[in-house]
Structure 1
Amino acid sequence: MMRNKEEKEAKKEAFRKYLESSGVLDALIKVLVALYEQNEKPSSALEFVQQKLGGPTVSEYEKLQSEISDLQTKYNELLIKHEEICNELEELKNLNTSPSRKDASTDGEVLKDEV
């Protein structure tokens, strides 16, 4: 049991060192100090922290989600249109290379030369 407790403590210490070396602790401390120093405390401390850490506010997040949805819809519509145009192009290529099409142009040339 003692070994298990020591392993947990070692993991906690390693994680603390990781947070410290990556700058997370400093960033959190600065944000919490800024919150503490606010004369008028914000209605949502969580939103304050998110904003100070560079995250979007709830309204900005909802706006971005809406924009993503609109762009996904437009993308899907353009993808369908692209597939339709590719199919049309393929059909036109097939019509151009079909033997009956070549014969028709040859006959037309012959008639033109004869006149």
Structure 2
Amino acid sequence: MDDVEALMSGEDPLEASDETRREVEGYQRAMTYIQGLSDAGEGFRYDLGLLNGLHFMIQEHHPDKRPGRLRRGPVYITSPDDPMVMDYTGPDYETVPDSWRSWSRG
């Protein structure tokens, strides 16, 4: 927790890895952007472009995860104790509404 607080305030972490630093910085950029949109007015709406942009901000240091683009296959979260154990499996790609998939072909 101390490392995250240090990173959020622009200080060097004591123990956090470079990967953790990049994760926190990505989330911080995305949340700062969302805060900036808080007064965007009635014309604002969440859309695929915004979600893809936020995903890119958060995951850009993981090019293998296709940051900023919809997935083409399964997605899951593994257990921190055992990477072979799935803690969460996302819905099948084919169940994503056609409108979202067609936007990704743009």
TM-score range, shorter chain: under 0.3
Name the TM-score, length of structure 1 as normaliser. 0.22
Structure with greater helix share of residues: 1
Structure with greater strand share of residues: 2
Structure with more relative contact order (C-alpha pairs < 8 Å, separation 6 or more): 2
- Is the radius of gyration larger for structure 1 or structure 2? 1
